[in-house]
Amino acid sequence: MSVQERKQRERADRERLIVATARELAEQQGWDAVTTRRLAERIEYSQPVLYSHFRGKREIIGAVALEGAAELAAAVRAATSTVDDPRARVAALAHAYLDFAARNPAVYDAIFHLDGGLAFAHEDTPAPLKDAFAALMESLAEVAGDGIHPGLFTETFWAALHGLATLTRARRLPPEHTEQRVRLLVDRLAVT
């Protein structure tokens, strides 16, 4: 391995460490606790080293969001890959989405609530965000109904899931009724 390759590998390792540490700190104490000073202390590098990877917290949030979007896509695909019935697949998608949001609140915030400097629904939207949307659309397109654009249906279903995730987490909706809400979404929106 050349010196250049070793330096690139070490740089990538440091970047992964910064992102993992930011996620851990955000999940434990919230995003307000994530500062470049605290991250530098935790990873045992100086702040200038941290700034050589990310210009600030906004870029770190963006990196966490991209990583989280890839994980969300994988979770949705894993949950739906073995389900043959289209409506059951949509229910599995909904549960995987809501479970991801509940298990990873800081990551979910990074993806959907915080400014990570990422463009959504644009040509320059980063690939992991596009792939997360594609993972949803893979199961939702077939239940959109005649004459309904699959992307528009996916946006609408996703908005409903996002609302359920956000309102449940904020304790505006009782979590014990989540299954009924998912059934209602699937029964009323998913057409076969």
**CA–CA dist 65, 6 (Å, integer):** 27
pLDDT in tens, 14-51: 999 999 999 999 999 999 999 999 999 999 999 999 99
Say how far residue 125 (Cα) sits from the centre of its chain: 14
Read off the tokens for 45.
Answer: 């590098």
Cβ proximity of 65 and 118 under 8 Å: yes
**CA–CA dist 40, 50 (Å, integer):** 7
What's the N-to-C CA distance of the chain in angstroms? 55
Cβ proximity of 36 and 59 under 8 Å: no
- Model pTM score: 0.94
Percent of the chain whose pLDDT exceeds 70: 99
pLDDT in tens, 145-167: 999 999 999 999 999 999 999 99
